[in-house]
């Protein structure tokens, strides 16, 4: 029987450049900058500079968010939700038009093709690392697979924390 395989990731063969997408804690500006070894993360828009001494690791997995110092990070597919939604919306519209013209096979075919495309994208895109607390995204880092996948429980913990923080700040600014 023929082995049907999705393209496997080239391990170490391709040196991917590391980069980071983060919202600046100081000016709120979201930037995507290259992540260099032994260099602190800085905001290109203002004077903000990384406050922790953590560095992008050369060999090991990143164990701490460079922007906020949070120790909990998760991996997810480097797959834009927008592209996924776009594919579904376009396919649903095209399928509905075909359906309206009694083109049953075309209507089903479009939906099937969209499902295949989504599946293909899912298996070919790599992973990225994201911080639970500040949502900073790390791409092209070594040992991404050492990290755990998204946990709703952990996410909820940080969401509650953020709400409490916002509430306490609101009280402080009032008083």
Of the pair 66, 110, the CB lying nearest Zn ion is at 66
Rounded Cα gap, residues 94 and 100, in angstroms: 10
The binding site for Zn ion (CB under 5 A) comprises: 24, 26-27, 43, 45-46, 48, 65, 67-68, 70, 131, 133-134, 136
Rounded Cα gap, residues 4 and 160, in angstroms: 44
Query: What does DSSP assign to residue 45?
Result: S
Of the pair 71, 164, the CB lying nearest Zn ion is at 71
CB of 57 to Zn ion, least distance (A): 16
CB of 133 to Zn ion, least distance (A): 5
List, in order, residues 6 or more apart from 131 with CB less than 8 Å away. 65, 67, 68, 70, 72, 73, 137
Whose tokens are 């519209």? That residue is 93
Of the pair 1, 149, the CB lying nearest Zn ion is at 149
**DSSP secondary structure, 96-111, as one string:** HHHHHTT-HHHHHHHH
Q: In what order do the strands lie in the sheet with 19-23?
A: 30-34, 19-23, 137-139, 127-131, 73-77
CB of 88 to Zn ion, least distance (A): 30
Of the pair 8, 53, the CB lying nearest Zn ion is at 53
Of the pair 9, 157, the CB lying nearest Zn ion is at 157
Whose tokens are 């050369």? That residue is 58
CB of 131 to Zn ion, least distance (A): 3
Whose tokens are 């600046």? That residue is 24
CB of 70 to Zn ion, least distance (A): 4
List, in order, residues 6 or more apart from 161 with CB less than 8 Å away. 133
């Amino acid at each position: 029987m023929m082995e049907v395989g999705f393209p496997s990731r080239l391990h170490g063969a391709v040196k991917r450049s590391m980069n980071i997408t983060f919202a600046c804690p100081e000016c709120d500006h979201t930037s995507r900058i290259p992540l260099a070894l032994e260099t602190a993360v800085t905001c290109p828009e203002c004077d903000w500079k990384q406050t922790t001494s953590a560095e992008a690791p050369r060999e090991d997995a990143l164990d701490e968010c460079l922007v906020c110092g949070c120790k909990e990070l998760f991996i997810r597919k480097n797959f834009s939700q927008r592209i996924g939604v776009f594919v579904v919306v376009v396919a649903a519209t095209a399928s509905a038009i075909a359906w309206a013209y009694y083109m049953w096979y075309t209507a089903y075919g479009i939906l099937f093709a969209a499902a295949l495309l989504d599946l293909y994208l899912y298996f070919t895109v790599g992973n990225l690392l994201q911080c639970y607390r500040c949502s900073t995204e790390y791409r092209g880092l070594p040992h991404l697979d050492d990290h755990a996948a998204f946990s709703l429980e952990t996410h909820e913990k940080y969401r509650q924390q953020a709400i409490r923080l916002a509430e306490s700040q609101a009280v402080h600014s009032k008083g």
